[in-house]
Amino acid sequence: MVREERRQFGGIPMEILWKTNMKNFHVRAYPPDGRIRVTLPASITDWELESFLATQREAIEKLQEKAMTQEQEAKPSFTTGDICYLWGKPYRLEVIETIGAPRVFRMGDTLRMYVPKGTSSARKEALYEKVCQLELKKVYPAVARACEERTGLHPTEYRLKNMKTRWGTCNVKARRVWLNTQLAKKPPQCLEYVLIHELTHLVEKNHNARFYALVEQYCPVWREAERLLNGKVAKPRP
């Protein structure tokens, strides 16, 4: 291998490996987070790499989504003892059968889920995802205000949705920022970084040197936050 580099293209974190024994480009996506690795000949220039990624962006996004879907299919069945995360902290799931309406509560380091007998794993997962949505809805406004003050950048609105391949997006024309509700599972600094990232698109649409210089200025720890976003969190000891 000649060299290895980590970079973002179109908001997708990638590992780029230049190798002497390669003749063609190879792109792979790995579960659980759809991590992308691009392997290419050592002779390929940055310009040729950028051109390749631009033409293959849609295919790469589909490849990433497939890898993430494969991991989702292998998820636990949301039974007692499983681990669920909120703001980077692991909670042990305790499923309790009830005759009342489904609900979820945090009790210390436990996430108690009250559901009717026979509730499917898909329904339990939906309840967990709803908790994440409510958590993000409660937390993000204050963080967004702080990020706006730091950058001097202000969108027209924020919206939340569960996304498979993006932690956030920015509609530059409408000045609208979308946040992935999955952010509520990650450490708090990840939310701050994603907000800074998307706000920066209001003044620089592309992921070029100017864009990352601004992100670095607004959020000096963005590389660590990105690592946390795209890495697994260790489970607690028994």
Q: Residue 40 corresponds to which amino acid? A: L
- Polymer length of the chain: 238
Question: Any idea where the domains of the chain sit in the sequence?
Answer: 3-73, 83-229
What pLDDT score does 77 carry?
A: 73
* Per-residue pLDDT tens over the stretch 191-215: 999 999 999 999 998 888 899 999 9
Tell me, what's the pLDDT at 69?
62
Contact 162, 181 (CB under 8 A): yes
> Does the domain at residues 83-229 carry the CATH identifier 3.30.870.10?
no
102-153: per-residue pLDDT in tens?
A: 999 998 889 999 999 889 999 999 999 999 999 999 999 999 999 999 999 9
- Burial of 115 per CB tally in 10 Å (0-12, 13-18, 19+): buried
Q: 148 in helix, strand or coil?
A: helix
Query: Which range (81-85, 142-146, 216-220) has the least confidence?
Result: 81-85
Give the torsion sign (CA, 80, 83, 84, 85): positive
Neighbouring residues of 97: CB distance < 8 A, sequence distance ≥ 6: 114, 115, 116, 117
Query: pTM score, two decimals?
Result: 0.68
